[in-house]
């Protein structure tokens, strides 16, 4: 490869290098892509004309496969190059499972571009186990690296690899990588922040699902943005609630007007900066079924939040007919109950009497009373009402 000027200064658009502009945009788009950085990695590979560019988001460990993204230079006769290599490719799996522990090119100074030759001479590299057992088989020799750490502690390792027949990385290429380092660090920070937010959201959503609480989120126009599994099941059944034209409605003119008025009140209060306005109403259902209970709460937004098409109101719905028992195993672990004792406590918390539990479990009332006495001793309560309250307020329902 012949020497050249800064790889980013290829063409200019309005005084800004076109390659640089495209690369920076791809770096910031990376956290939103699947796989992440699937457009940026091929651009980085072309930037310094290397065989492979790798981004290690989580290094492999004994019990952790890690996350490694590779973009490999397509073969000359290839007609369908993939932007990101298959995670099952030999280069990735072999490095992950066998050779990561031998890699001498780790723990680089943050945000500093370093070449492998800065650490090991060519002769030392050739004599190493890492070269003999991995790099040689992979056809790689020259490596340029950049490590960066986002404020939350996530470390990302960017590596550029060339074949033995290709020249070392020159100063202009090192400078080009150093130039994009701040953008890579901020992109990694965005990726980590989005990942943490998604994990928290999934955790809380899972907890709400376990509690059997139907949740519907609306925007400031009253349009449905999302509904959890319990809510979708309610909406699909004959429960007096439905979605018409993207709006949540209640069957019956008066009740629906009550719902729409409550939504309008909350949205207007939210615009005035009053985030504490809450409304509640009941939804009648046909037959002998219990009414649904609805609680409408504003969704807190940041000072700079965008209202349109953003979460504005959360509707929580309880269905008294929906029996979601606490986890027998979790309740047993919490209070050291036997499976039979945990099951009896759960049935009592559903509203059954001791006699009804005895009949349902096909045990004598004497046995049921003995189990209840043992439960009282283990939980520290002395009355059945206290036991019911303890079960309902425990975390067993999240198990």
CATH of the domain at 364: 1.10.10.10
Contact 88, 128 (CB under 8 A): no
Q: For residue 398, which of 318, 329, 343 has the smallest C-alpha distance?
A: 329
**How do strand 114-115 and strand 142-149 relate by DSSP bridges?**
antiparallel
Q: Return the pLDDT at 375.
A: 93
91 and 231 assigned to the same domain? no
Residue 184 located in a structural domain: yes
**Residue 357 domain boundaries:** 328-398
Contact 56, 157 (CB under 8 A): yes
- pLDDT reading at 83 higher than 90: no
56 and 105 assigned to the same domain? yes
Contact 174, 142 (CB under 8 A): no
134 and 17 assigned to the same domain? yes
Q: Return the pLDDT at 1.
A: 45
- pLDDT reading at 127 higher than 80: yes
Segment 26-56, tens digit of pLDDT: 999 999 999 999 999 999 998 889 999 999 8
Contact 314, 320 (CB under 8 A): no
241 and 371 assigned to the same domain? no
Indicate the residue among 198, 220, 235 that finishes a domain.
198
Question: What is the C-alpha separation between 54 and 73, in angstroms, rounded?
Answer: 12
298 and 340 assigned to the same domain? no
Q: Which residue has the higher pLDDT, 102 or 229?
A: 229
17 and 122 assigned to the same domain? yes
Work out the mean pLDDT of the chain and round it to a whole number.
84
Contact 146, 108 (CB under 8 A): yes
CATH of the domain at 235: 3.30.450.20
Q: Return the pLDDT at 92.
A: 66
Q: Return the pLDDT at 12.
A: 42
151 and 89 assigned to the same domain? yes
Q: What is the token pair recorded at 227?
A: 């509904």
As to burial, measured by CB atoms within 10 angstroms (0-12 exposed, 13-18 middle, 19+ buried), residue 243 is: middle
Q: Return the pLDDT at 14.
A: 41
Segment 130-155, tens digit of pLDDT: 898 888 888 899 999 999 999 888 89
Contact 397, 326 (CB under 8 A): yes
Q: What is the token pair recorded at 336?
A: 């050291």
């Amino acid at each position: 490869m012949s020497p050249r000027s800064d790889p980013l200064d290829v063409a200019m658009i309005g005084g800004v290098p076109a390659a640089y502009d495209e690369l920076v945009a791809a770096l910031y788009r990376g956290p939103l892509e699947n796989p992440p950085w699937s457009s940026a990695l091929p651009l980085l590979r072309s930037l310094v004309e290397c065989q492979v560019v790798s981004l290690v988001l989580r290094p492999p460990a004994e019990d952790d496969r890690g996350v490694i993204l590779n973009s490999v230079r397509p073969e000359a006769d290839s007609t369908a190059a993939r932007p990101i290599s298959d995670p099952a490719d030999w280069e990735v799996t072999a490095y992950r499972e066998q050779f990561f522990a031998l890699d001498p090119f780790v723990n680089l100074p943050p945000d500093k571009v370093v070449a492998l030759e800065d650490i090991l001479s060519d002769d030392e590299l050739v004599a190493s186990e890492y070269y003999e057992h991995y790099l040689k088989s992979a056809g790689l020799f020259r490596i340029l690296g950049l490590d960066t750490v986002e404020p939350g502690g996530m470390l990302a390792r960017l590596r550029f690899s060339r074949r033995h027949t290709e020249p070392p990385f020159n100063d202009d290429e090192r400078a080009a990588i150093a130039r994009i380092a701040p953008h890579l660090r901020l992109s990694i920070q965005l990726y980590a922040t989005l990942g943490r937010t998604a994990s928290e959201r999934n955790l809380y959503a899972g907890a709400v699902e376990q509690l059997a609480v139907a949740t519907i989120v609306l925007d400031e126009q009253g349009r449905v943005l999302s509904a959890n599994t319990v809510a979708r099941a309610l909406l699909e059944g004959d429960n007096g609630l439905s979605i018409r034209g993207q709006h949540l409605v209640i069957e019956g003119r008066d009740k629906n007007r009550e719902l729409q008025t409550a939504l309008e009140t909350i949205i207007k209060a939210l615009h005035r900066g009053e985030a504490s306005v809450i409304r509640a109403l009941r939804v009648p259902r046909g037959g002998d079924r219990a009414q649904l209970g609805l609680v409408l709460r504003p969704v807190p937004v940041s000072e700079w939040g965008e209202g349109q098409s953003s979460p504005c109101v959360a509707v929580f719905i309880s269905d008294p007919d929906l029996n979601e028992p606490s986890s027998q195993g979790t309740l047993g672990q919490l209070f050291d109950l036997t499976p039979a004792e945990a099951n009896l406590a759960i049935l009592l918390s559903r509203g059954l009497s001791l006699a009804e539990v005895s009949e349902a479990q096909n045990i004598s009332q004497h046995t049921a009373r003995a189990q209840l006495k043992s439960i009282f001793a283990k939980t520290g309560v002395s009355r059945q009402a206290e036991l019911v309250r303890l079960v309902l307020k425990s975390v067993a329902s999240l198990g």
